[in-house]
Amino acid sequence: MILGSEGRLGVITQAVLRVRPLPCEESFLGVLFHNWEDGRRTACSLAQAGVGLSMIRLSDALETETTLALAGRERLIKLGQWAAALLGYGVDRCLMILGISAESDRDAARIRGQALDIVRMHGGFNAGGLIGKEWSKSRFRSPYLRNTLWDMGYALDTLESAVPWAGFEAARSGTLAALRDAFEASSVPGVAFSHLSHVYADGAGFYITYIFPRAGTAGETLSRWRLLKRSASDAISASGGTISHQHGVGIDHRDDLEAEKGRLGLQLLSALAGTVDPAGILNPGKLVAAPAESRS
């Protein structure tokens, strides 16, 4: 309860750390699939087979093109795209990045071999280490594009959820559709794309990036964001996904928590908060309303 409460039910004052040696081998491998569904099935198979990968990340077709455009090495990337097209990986192609972290070269080779066996079963193509290497170099730089886009007149936001495999695709595609419908209904041009990550044996997380033009005033831009965020949040709740995966609930998602936890679940959290923090001073307002807010 305390670990997941965003400081609302308690504060960690001491911690014991588990220390492990750094991997002697760490690499990222790029894999192409003909379409999203082949990649999604591969991610599920890799997770359920227990292949010792440190990361599985699958981008949809639009995010794949965006990732390749941002990777740098324009001539090499274009050559790779030309080769992929010759092999039948066309406009619907989706890029998967596999992370391999191992304590020895032998372990790394074993993990890579197991992963690629499953990849080939689903029609995937080993695109080699160049794409993975370029992705790893830019992975922590790309988020700063948010600031550049803002200066150029565009707002960017992200949202995420996690869903069991049985309902994963309906939740992801439904959330994307809700965003696109909101763009159309509000006559605001925008773009949204997604990737699958944080993979588990029983499900996975999806992460959506959406971009839209800023309005003439800050208030109008905020209204546009609220419409898009509300549409996506309603779609996530309707699909049975968690309203927030690893990013936390905070204030933005607090009103959606009842759809996920139920009224009894919220009463339980509120009772805990009232017991451990009767004055409402621990990160007030986040996750559940502070006692004073509840009384008002």
pLDDT value for 189: 93
Q: Please state, for a pLDDT cut of 90, what percent of the chain lies above it.
A: 63
pLDDT of amino acid 295: 45
d(CA 39, CA 248): 27
- The model carries a pTM of 0.90
3-state helix, strand, coil in the chain (%, to 5): 50, 20, 30
The tens digit of pLDDT for each residue in 100-150 reads: 999 899 999 999 999 999 999 999 999 888 888 888 888 888 788 889 999
167 sits in which H/E element: helix 165-185
- Per DSSP, the three-state class of 9 is coil
* Plot region of 125 (φ>0 → left; ψ -120 to 50 → alpha; else → beta): beta
Distances 112 to 23, 24, 122, 136, 195 between C-alpha atoms, Å: 15, 15, 16, 17, 22
The type of residue at 14 is: Q
Residue 59 predicted with pLDDT over 90: yes
From CA 127, how far away is CA 45, in angstroms rounded?
A: 19
Closest CA to 63 of 158, 148, 144, 163: 158
For 23-57, what is each residue's pLDDT tens digit? 988 999 999 999 999 999 999 999 999 999 999 99
